[in-house]
């Protein structure tokens, strides 16, 4: 057989391909194409192979990127942490190291690898750094967030905290997934000075519309406070239509599944997971399933969390100064809560409630809300509210309450106003345990009742005790002036309804949701 030069070159090419089948597998992309990938590919992993000082000190990095330096060998040592069957975009400063890194990933079986030509220099000069998946940040055209990277980008952009945002997809923040992490501060609007109690960061003042989507598996292990998805939301901020699922947040004070400290408006939001206020001795103040401290408004929201206010992981016992204001929905409330509920399991020291730990004076108000969980603590423990110095009206509790002193089926300690509310859960305490209210310091209790049989309590500092049969009879509550559906003598708001002889009064809005 005659072999010419063309044949030799062809055979050499085949030999090269066979000996290194992945050598040409990765795809070169421009900075603009890389931006399109980041915008449109939810499972894309961005690997930045610059050294840490470059990653931190350069004019920016792609939000959510993993920093696995090439020159110092980090990528070669840790590449097995990355999934081989998903898309990977490799970037560096100008393109040289990313090409070598992309070829390395090719040779180790990664199926889809992109190398950004020109590196971050090209990204910065040829494109506007990609933060969100679309929109312009206005009310009519909100910034769209579809990925964990976009959510983290919002947190890293205080200049955008006054803008409008909308989620366009569910987001999983599982720290075990590539590009995710256990946070040590709030994701958005974090406190920037851990040495002081007061908030020193930039609060969120814009609108965040969850659009019915879920943010799941947020994990925060913080040393101080203002912890949650949002550290602080300011007056005028609006957070709505968002579900927080499988959250795991621990800190020292002002800890919540959604917001650490809220001065804005929260509407139709919920939290499910574990909230801990006990990482360090003296911790646990203002710990709530949804919000740590509320001085804004919370409407049509709920919590199904396990909320712990403890010292170093141990029950607070008789401590009167640590682990205070622990609530299933809100740790301490000086704002307004309406048409909301909690099915949380709550434990703490002082001021512990299934809905709210402490409801503050003059301004703190709770209306048309309920709780059905369990609460245990040292003192001032209530089925709905641990300590009340504000107002509670048209609300109820059905859960179990256990404490040492000042323990009540609805409120542990009351110095405020309680109107047209009731409790039916079990109550047990060593001192000052009441079916409705454990202790009363000059407060007012009007048109409110409790079940003496199910609570195992025949006395209360306020309210009227009834049998179970009486508590399941409409006339009992009509005589107390409660406004029920299909009656007008006590009003036309249709606040309550009852399944006569079978159940206790329920809020009418429960049937509408």
Catalytic residue ranges: 92
Beta strands, E only, 154-264 = 164-167, 171-172, 207-216, 219-221, 225-227, 230-233, 238-250, 253-256, 259-262
Tell how strand 506-507 and strand 496-497 pair up.
antiparallel
CA–CA–CA angle 259, 265, 269 (5° rounding): 60
DSSP one-letter code for 142 = P
Task: Show the tokens assigned to 62.
Answer: 């792609």
d(CA 379, CA 446): 24
**Which ranges constitute the DSSP H helices of 135-196?**
148-155
Q: Concatenated DSSP letters for 384-404?
A: SEEEESSEEES-EE-SEEEEE
d(CA 377, CA 323): 10
Look at the block and give the residue holding tokens 């001192």: 431
d(CA 55, CA 65): 10
Q: Are 315 and 355 in contact (CB under 8 A)?
A: no
User: 282, 280, 293, 146: which is closest to 230 by C-alpha?
Assistant: 293
Residue 312 main-chain phi, psi, to 5 deg: 50, 35
Helix 119-126 crosses helix 31-40 at what angle (to 10 degrees)? 80
Q: With 0-12 CB in 10 A as exposed, 13-18 as middle and 19+ as buried, what is 307?
A: buried
Q: Are 366 and 355 in contact (CB under 8 A)?
A: yes
Task: Show the tokens assigned to 449.
Answer: 């009742």
Residue 176 main-chain phi, psi, to 5 deg: -85, -10
d(CA 377, CA 147): 40
């Amino acid at each position: 057989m005659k072999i010419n030069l063309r044949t030799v070159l062809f055979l050499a090419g085949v030999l090269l391909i066979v000996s290194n089948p992945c050598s040409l597998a990765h795809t070169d992309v421009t900075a603009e194409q890389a931006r399109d990938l980041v915008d449109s590919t939810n499972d894309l992993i961005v690997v930045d192979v610059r050294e840490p000082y470059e990653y931190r000190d350069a004019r920016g990095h792609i939000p959510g990127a993993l920093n696995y330096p090439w020159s110092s060998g980090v990528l070669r040592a840790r590449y097995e942490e990355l999934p081989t069957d998903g898309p990977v975009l490799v970037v560096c400063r100008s393109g040289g190291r990313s090409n070598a890194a992309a070829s390395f990933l090719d040779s180790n079986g990664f199926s889809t690898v992109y190398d950004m030509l020109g590196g971050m220099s090209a990204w910065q000069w040829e494109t506007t750094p990609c933060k969100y998946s679309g929109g312009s940040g206005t009310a009519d055209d909100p910034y769209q967030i579809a990925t964990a990277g976009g959510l983290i980008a919002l947190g890293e952009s205080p200049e955008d905290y006054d803008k409008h945002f909308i989620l366009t997809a569910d987001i999983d923040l599982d720290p075990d997934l590539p590009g995710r992490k256990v946070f040590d501060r709030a994701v958005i609007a974090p406190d920037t000075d851990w040495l002081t109690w007061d908030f020193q960061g930039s609060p969120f003042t814009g609108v965040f519309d969850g659009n019915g989507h879920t943010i799941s598996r947020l994990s925060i292990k913080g040393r101080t406070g203002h912890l949650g998805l949002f550290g602080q939301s300011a007056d005028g901020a609006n957070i709505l239509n968002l579900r927080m699922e499988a959250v795991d947040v621990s800190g020292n004070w002002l800890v919540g599944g959604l917001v650490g400290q809220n001065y804005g408006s929260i509407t139709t939001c919920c939290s499910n997971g574990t909230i801990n206020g006990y990482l360090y001795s003296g911790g646990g103040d203002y710990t709530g399933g949804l919000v740590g401290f509320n001085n804004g408004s919370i409407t049509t929201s709920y919590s199904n969390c396990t909320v712990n206010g403890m010292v170093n992981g141990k029950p607070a016992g008789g401590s009167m100064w640590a682990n205070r204001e622990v609530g299933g929905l809100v740790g301490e409330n000086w704002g307004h809560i309406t048409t909301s509920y909690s099915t949380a399991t709550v434990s703490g020291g002082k001021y512990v409630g299934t809905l709210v730990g402490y409801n503050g004076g003059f301004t703190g108000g709770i209306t048309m809300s309920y709780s059905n969980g369990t609460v245990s603590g040292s003192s001032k423990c209530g089925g709905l509210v641990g300590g009340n110095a504000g107002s509670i009206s048209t609300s109820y509790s059905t859960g179990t309450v256990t404490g040492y002193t000042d323990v009540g089926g609805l409120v542990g300690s009351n110095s405020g106003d309680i109107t047209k509310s009731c409790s039916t859960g079990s109550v047990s305490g060593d001192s000052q345990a009441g079916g409705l209210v454990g202790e009363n310091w000059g407060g007012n209790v009007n048109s409110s009742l409790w079940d003496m049989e199910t609570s195992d309590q025949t006395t209360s500092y306020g309210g009227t005790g009834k049998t179970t049969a009486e508590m399941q009879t409409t006339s009992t509550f009509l005589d107390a002036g409660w406004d029920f559906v299909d009656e007008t003598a006590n009003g036309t708001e249709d606040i309550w309804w009852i399944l006569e002889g079978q159940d206790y009064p329920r809020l009418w809005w429960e049937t509408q949701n």
